[in-house]
Structure 1
């Protein structure tokens, strides 16, 4: 069974493998040993905090493990509140109207304005599933369990959540949007800029990024064409988030112009449809639907998918699922149909 659990220091090698395999443009998983080890340590601190009354600097990082082999097959994370100690940048798409009544001229022009509007919101991030395991809805589990985690531990997270989608780049990691910025404002390629941001070196953004609104029409046509568009490999993840209620509101990444989608946590479909019931252990009937199921502990968190019978006052799961999810009869579980 594939089970999601908190990351541990022993998972460093597996996390490094995920960072290498995730490729260009995956800012939250840079191939950097010191950064990855810091993320693991920071996650351990977050999971160890038993009583959290409001979102802060906590970064929750999870791995998906094959319990039969012990192999880590993917990872995903949640930032409780972004931008509290380091600026969190986006470009906001807007409009400026140039109008002269006397000349009968009216131009409505799109602009990009550097902003920090998402400061303090929660972020779903660092979702990566290794290629051989992209089947049996494993990717859905690795993404959606985070919404159940947020539903169960509401005080740990903001009222709103975002997810940054990887923007368009080629097989070498070259971004058409960044190419334009590099040409006029920077002297580094996309991969270097993306890497520096991933390891927390963001001062150059404030120092070199254009501070005034950019007219979209002034960008190269290739750069204009990718604003708000996602990388081909990211389309399934975007569709899944849209099905959960996430929407694009005109905010894009400052490097590749990929879209950021947002939602009010209470309106996430998996949050609204999730239930919390005590567990009974037995054999679900053959028609039992598969569910994403999680225990309700933080430090000893476990989540996964399994067939389950939903009754008015309890959830029936198999002994194997109960063992993998560290649930005993009578324990509370949160779950949602897969």
Structure 2
């Protein structure tokens, strides 16, 4: 069974493998030993804080493990509140109107304005599933379980959640959007800029990024064409988030112009439709329902795909599922239809 659980220091080698395999443009998983170890330590701190009444600096990082082999096959994370100590940048896609009544000229022009509008919101991040395991809805589980975690531990997260989608880049990791910025404002390539951001070295953004709105029409055509567009490998993740109620509000990444989508946490489909019921351990009926199921513990959190029988005031899970998700009879569990 594939089970999602909090990351531990013993998972470092597997997390490093995920970072290598994630490739260019995956900002939150840079191939950097120091940063990856710090992320693990920071996650352990977050899971150890039992009493949290509002979102802060906590970063929750999980891994998906094959319980049959002990192999870690993917990772997924949530930032409780972004931008509290380090600026969190986006470009906002807006419009300005140039109008001359006397000449009968009216031009509505798109602009990109550097902003920090998402400061303090929660972020779904660091979602990566290794290639051989992208089957049987495993990716859906690895993404959506986070919504159950947020529903269960509501006070730890903001009222708004966002997810940054990887933008368009070629097989060499080069971004058409960054290519234009590099030519006019920077002397570092996309991969270096992306890596520096991933390891927390963001001061160059404030120092070198243009402070005034950029007219989109000034960009090279190939740069204009990718604004708000996602990398081909990211399309399934975007479709899944859209089905959960996330929407694009005109905010794009400052490096590759990939879209950021947002939703009110209370209105996310998996949050809204999840249920919390006590557990009975037994044999689910033949009409068992396929769900994403999790326990309600923090440091000992477990989640996974399961077939359960849903009664009026309880659910029935198999002994195998109970063991894998650290559930006992009468424990509370949260679930949502898969």
Q: Quick check: TM above 0.5?
A: yes
* Aligned counterpart, 2:274: 274
Q: Deviations over 1:245-271 (max 9, x none)?
A: 000000000000000000000000000
**Which residue is 2:232 aligned to?**
232
* Secondary structure of 2:196 counterpart: helix
Q: Which residue of 1 aligns with 2:116?
A: 116
Task: State how far apart, in whole Å, the 2-side matches of 1:171 and 1:289 are.
Answer: 41
Q: 1:127 is matched with which residue?
A: 127
Give the Cα separation in 2 of the matches to 1:59 and 1:22: 20
Could you say which residue in structure 2 is the equivalent of 1:329?
329
Shift of 1:214: 0.1
How far did 1:286 drift? 2.0
Q: CA deviation at 1:298?
A: 0.5
State how far apart, in whole Å, the 1-side matches of 2:35 and 2:159 are: 28
Question: Deviation of residue 287 (structure 1)?
Answer: 2.3
2:176 matched to which residue of 1? 176
Q: Secondary structure of the residue that 2:123 maps to in structure 1? A: strand
Instruction: Name the CA distance, whole Å, in 2 between partners of 1:205 and 1:251.
Output: 17
In 1: Cα distance, 2:248 partner to 2:66 partner: 34
Instruction: Report matched runs for 1:1-338 at 5 Å.
Output: 1-338=1-338
In structure 1, how many angstroms separate the alpha carbons of the residues matched to 2:141 and 2:330? 24
The DSSP-based 3-state class of the residue aligned with 2:38 is helix
Are the equivalent residues in 1 in contact too, given 2:289–2:310 (CA < 8 A)? no
Structure 2: tracts of 5 or more residues without a match: none
- CA deviations on 1:253-294 (whole Å, 9 max, x unpaired) are 000000000000000000010000000011111221211000
Q: Distance in 2 between matches of 1:8 and 1:161?
A: 25
Aligned equivalents of 1:67, 1:138: Cα separation in 2: 14
CA deviations 1:143-181 (Å, max 9, x no partner) are 000000000000000000000000000010000000000
- Tell me the SS of whatever aligns to 1:308: strand
SS in 2 for 1:75: strand
Deviating runs (4+, > 3 A) in structure 1? none
Cα separation, 2, equivalents of 1:218 and 1:161: 32
Contact 2:87 2:116 (8 Å CA) reproduced: yes
Name the CA distance, whole Å, in 1 between partners of 2:106 and 2:306.
59
Structure 2 contact 185–210 (Cα < 8 Å) conserved:
yes
Distance in 2 (alpha carbons) for counterparts of 1:279 and 1:287: 17
Distance 1:286 1:278 in 2: 20
In the alignment of these two chains, the number of paired residues is 338
TM (norm. structure 1) is 1.00
Q: Distance in 1 between matches of 2:323 and 2:337?
A: 20
- Once the 2 structures are TM-superposed, how far is the Cα of residue 55 of structure 1 from its aligned partner? 0.2
**1:182, distance to aligned residue in structure 2 (A):** 0.2
Q: Provide the rounded CA distance (Å) in 2 between the counterparts of 1:317 and 1:274.
A: 17
Secondary structure in structure 1 of the residue aligned to 2:316: strand
Which moved further from structure 2: 281-290 or 19-28?
Answer: 281-290
CA RMSD of aligned residues (A): 0.3
